[in-house]
Amino acid sequence: MAQNGSKVTRRQFLTYTLTGVGGFMAATLISPMVNFAIDPVLKKSGAGDKVKVISLDEITTEPQRVDYKKQTQDAWYEFEETLSAWVFKDESGEIIALSPICTHLGCQVGYGGDPTRPTEFFCPCHFGRYEKDGTNIPGTPPTAPLARYEKEEKDGFLYLGSPVAQL
- Nearest residue (CB) to another protein, 14 versus 165: 14
Cβ of residue 48: shortest distance to another protein, in angstroms?
A: 17
Cα(98)–Cα(108) distance, integer angstroms: 12
- Contact (Cβ atoms closer than 8 angstroms) between residue 154 and residue 164: no
CB of 110 to another protein, least distance (A): 35
Q: Are 69 and 80 in contact (CB under 8 A)?
A: yes
State how far the alpha carbon of 95 is from the alpha carbons of 39, 47, 151, in Å. Answer: 38, 21, 9
Beta carbon nearer to another protein, 36 or 106: 36
Does 76 sit near another protein (CB under 8 A)?
yes
* Residues 22-61 as x/- pattern, contact with another protein by CB under 8 A: -------xx-xx-xxx-x--x-------------------
The Cα diameter of the chain in Å comes to 90
Give the interface with another protein as residue ranges (CB under 8 A): 29-30, 32-33, 35-37, 39, 42, 75-77
